[in-house]
Structure 1
Amino acid sequence: MQVLVRDNNIEQALKVLKKRMQREGVFREMKQRRAYEKPSERRVREHDEAIRRHRKAARKKAQWEGLIAAPKRRVKKPATSASR
């Protein structure tokens, strides 16, 4: 994974790197590898993850086909000035 640093802006580059690592699941994998996981526990976890992925895909498909309503989008409130 490679992140370009522009104008010596290290903070922005770190922010981009963390976001990419989060998206790739690196942090989740590091957390799992901290301790030993028994093979039976691994099978159960992977099975549960597969069910979760399947349900998510089915929900997305149903929303796309119009069978269920899409979740309501959150509306950001405009920032108010803190001059008091």
Structure 2
Amino acid sequence: MQVLVRDNNVEQALRALKRKMQREGIFREMRARTAYEKPSVKRAREKQEAVRRARKLAVKRAQREGLLPAPKKKTVTRSRSA
């Protein structure tokens, strides 16, 4: 994984790196690798993740077909400081 540092702005590059790592699931994988996971626990977790993905896909499909209302869009309110 690679992040470019522009104008010696290391903080911004670090935030971008963390965002990329989060998106790729590296933090989750590191946490999972810290301790041994029994095969039965691993199967149960993977099955649970598959169910969650299937549910999420079904909700999105139902929203696309008009069976469920679309999610509410978040409105960002910005306050102006003097």
TM-score, normalised by the number of residues in structure 1 = 0.90
| 1:66 alignment counterpart | 66
Which runs of no fewer than 5 residues in structure 1 stay unpaired?
Answer: none
Q: Deviations over 1:37-84 (max 9, x none)?
A: 100000000000000001111111111111100121222222153x7x
Partner of 2:16: 16
Amino acid at match of 2:25: G
Q: Secondary structure at the match of 1:28?
A: helix
Q: Which amino acid aligns with 1:13?
A: A
Which residue does the alignment assign to 2:77?
77
Read off the aligned partner of 2:13 and give its amino acid letter.
A
Partner secondary structure for residue 67 of structure 2 = coil
Q: Distance in 2 between matches of 1:33 and 1:58?
A: 31
Which residue identity does 1:34 align to in structure 2? T
Tell me which stretches of 4 or more aligned residues in structure 1 moved more than 3 Å. none
Give structure 2 stretches of 5+ with no counterpart: none
Following the alignment from structure 2 to structure 1, what is the Cα–Cα distance between the partners of residues 78 and 45? 41
Task: Give the SS at the match of 1:69.
Answer: coil
Q: TM-score normalized by structure 2?
A: 0.92
Counterpart-to-counterpart distance in 1, 2:80 and 2:37: 49
Count of equivalent residues = 82
